[in-house]
Amino acid sequence: MPSEGPGREVSEPEARALYIRKCSLCHGDDGDLGASKSPMLSTSTLSLEERVALITYGKGTMPAQKGILNKAEITAVARYIERFRN
Ligand code: HEC
């Protein structure tokens, strides 16, 4: 796998840990909690690129992760949440 810019590669357990720490509050451990009016991740159709942008810059009440997570971490989390899709 090519490396994603600065920073080392992020393993799947690390991606899960980041998800639990930064995203579960609203989206739940399995993507479908729907707290704070967040959409179900199981029915999301956003592309990887769109998810990376959304996670980086945030939207509405969803907090931006720019400056909190690095690019490799954001990409890893964006990939990780694909498992929640139906
Ligand atoms: C404070 C609550 C909150 C947190 C924390 C949060 N989100 Fe969200 N998320 C939202 C809300 C609200 C939306 C809907 C944004 C909108 O469209 O206005 C959203 C939308 C999304 C979407 C788009 C789904 C779709 O197809 O429309 C994805 C993907 C997503 N979040 C992933 C994440 C990830 C990954 C994290 C952790 C890095 C995260 N969210 C953290 C509240 C949150």
> What CATH number did the domain enclosing 22 receive?
1.10.760.10
Distance 16 CA to ligand 1 centre (A): 16
Decide if 5 is inside a domain. Answer: no
Please report the pLDDT score of residue 1 as a whole number.
52
Does the beta carbon of 62 sit less than 6 angstroms from any atom of ligand 1?
Answer: yes
Does the beta carbon of 44 sit less than 6 angstroms from any atom of ligand 1?
Answer: yes
The pTM for the full model equals 0.93
Decide if 19 is inside a domain. Answer: yes
By alpha-carbon position, which residue is closest to atom 7 of ligand 1?
Answer: 62
Q: What is the pLDDT along the chain (86 residues), one digit of tens a residue?
A: 554 455 678 999 999 999 999 999 999 999 999 999 999 999 999 999 999 999 999 999 999 999 999 999 999 999 999 999 98
Question: Residues 58, 63, 65, 66: what is their CA dihedral angle, to the nearest 10 degrees?
Answer: 60
Counting the structural domains of the chain, the total is 1
Which structural domain range is residue 16 located in? 12-84
Does the beta carbon of 37 sit less than 6 angstroms from any atom of ligand 1?
Answer: yes
Please report the pLDDT score of residue 8 as a whole number.
74
Q: At what angle do helices 12-22 and 71-80 cross, to 10 degrees?
A: 90
Decide if 3 is inside a domain. Answer: no
Decide if 7 is inside a domain. Answer: no
